[in-house]
Amino acid sequence: MNQKSRKIKQITYFGFADAQEWDPLYKDAYELAKFMAEHGYDAVNGGGPGTMRAVSEGAKAGGARVIGATFYPKDITNFEGRDKKNPLDEEIVEKDYLSRTMKLLELGDAYIVLRGGTGTISEFGMAWGLARLYFGHHKPLVLYGDYWYDIMKAFRLNMRIRPEDLKVYKICNNPKEVLKAIKIFDQAISLRENPKEEEKAFQLLDRDKLAKKV
């Protein structure tokens, strides 16, 4: 699939704002964004520090464009705000935190969720919820890291998870797996007018891998 025919062109990354440069999480975010950039995917993030800055630095090192959705708070106690060291090519300033989150979800053709805190959890929940609501026309999710198996297992065992909820994401452990998943998701999006072919594409994602881990 050439770049012009691709449906997924820019990816929104969610992750931990407090990750420092020496943190393995920071390095993972940098390398992942760089790898995806080298394969033609632009990056979107919240314009802050931590993994957001790591994603921007990695994406630019890989030759991609970086878009940041930000806002400048006045009375929020625990919000990291804009990091001037985060090298954005374009900054979109929103009026509040919720508008910023919605803009991040709007800008991405797909989402990658790295390890994070409460902010990342809320962003993941919104992305996952929207994927379920718009199932069949949804934006795909990549959950980055083995620990996601335990998280999704807990949801399956303790919440009321519907079958289609498990079809909108893929758990990946390295950049090559992410690229493969994004390409297959892209293929599935292109085939949405043919449900049988779309289902074949999704089967390539090995959705039963999660069940084997439970």
Is residue 1 a part of any domain in this protein? no
How many Cα atoms occupy the beta-carbon half-sphere of 157 within 13 Å? 10
High-pLDDT (> 90) share of the chain, %:
78
Query: Each residue of 130-151: pLDDT tens digit?
Result: 999 999 899 999 999 999 999 9
- DSSP states along 110-175: EEEE-S--HHHHHHHHHHHHHHHHTTTSPPPEEEESTHHHHHHHHHHHHS---GGGGGSEEEESSH
Domain CATH code at residue 65: 3.40.50.450
Nearest residue to 202 via CA among 153, 125, 135 = 135
Dihedral over Cα of 11, 14, 18, 21: its sign: negative
Query: Each residue of 38-91: pLDDT tens digit?
Result: 999 999 999 999 999 999 999 999 999 999 999 988 877 778 889 999 999 999
Is residue 3 a part of any domain in this protein? no
Is residue 2 a part of any domain in this protein? no
Can you tell me the distance from the alpha carbon of 82 to that of 18, in angstroms, rounded to the nearest whole number?
Answer: 13
Is residue 80 a part of any domain in this protein? yes
pTM of the predicted model over 0.85: yes
Strands 110-113 vs 90-93: parallel, antiparallel or unpaired = unpaired
Is residue 59 a part of any domain in this protein? yes
Can you tell me the distance from the alpha carbon of 142 to that of 93, in angstroms, rounded to the nearest whole number?
Answer: 26
Query: Each residue of 87-134: pLDDT tens digit?
Result: 999 999 999 999 999 999 999 999 999 999 999 999 999 999 999 999
Measured from the Cβ of residue 63, the count of other Cβ atoms closer than 10 Å reads 11
Is residue 151 a part of any domain in this protein? yes
Can you tell me the distance from the alpha carbon of 173 to that of 65, in angstroms, rounded to the nearest whole number?
Answer: 24
Can you tell me the distance from the alpha carbon of 125 to that of 159, in angstroms, rounded to the nearest whole number?
Answer: 13
Name the domain count of the chain. 1
Is residue 74 a part of any domain in this protein? yes
Is residue 99 a part of any domain in this protein? yes
Residues in contact with 122: Cβ distance below 8 Å, sequence separation at least 6, in sequence order: 101
16 in Cβ contact with 52 (< 8 Å): no
Give the domain range for residue 23.
8-213
Nearest residue to 210 via CA among 160, 157, 158, 159 = 157
Residues 14-25, mean pLDDT to the nearest whole number: 97
